[in-house]
Amino acid sequence: MLNKWLLGYLVVFGLGNAFLFLGAFLLPKEDRDPPLETLVDFFVASTLFAGMLLLLVDIDSPTVRMLWKPVSIVVAVAAVYANLRARFKELRDQESAEEHGAIAFADCLTITLFLPSIAFNIYFAFWR
């Protein structure tokens, strides 16, 4: 049962991130995130995706799981830090009250997209 949910989530996560990164490069230059932030976001999303693939294909190697423990923690912290840093920056730079709703929507979307992937990675590393 977990595999069906995980596979469905992997598809949604992969497509969602593909559209986000494609959109990041199609936006006008003044609306884009700094290149380093985009690179960090891509690294975090790719690593989370890889961890979920490891869980899906049922990798049972103790070495892989041991190596994935620090990776899952670092990626979880990096994802939360990057999101909070970007939100504080947006809130500090917002020009009008109507942007606050867009920022709140972006936060909800980010949490919905990334929180389960972080949970799947930590589950694979520590409890699988």
Q: What local confidence, expressed as pLDDT, does residue 94 receive?
A: 64
Q: What local confidence, expressed as pLDDT, does residue 48 receive?
A: 93
Q: What local confidence, expressed as pLDDT, does residue 85 receive?
A: 81
Residues near 88 by beta carbon (within 8 Å), at least 6 away in sequence:
none
Q: What local confidence, expressed as pLDDT, does residue 60 receive?
A: 86
Q: What local confidence, expressed as pLDDT, does residue 98 receive?
A: 63
Q: Domain extents for the chain?
A: 2-126
Q: What local confidence, expressed as pLDDT, does residue 96 receive?
A: 57
Q: What local confidence, expressed as pLDDT, does residue 38 receive?
A: 81
C-alpha to C-alpha distance for 48 and 108, rounded to whole angstroms = 18
Residue-wise pLDDT for 34-65, tens only, equals 778 888 888 899 999 999 999 999 888 999 99
Q: What Rg, from alpha-carbon coordinates, does the chain have?
A: 16
Which residues of the chain are under the pLDDT cut of 50? none
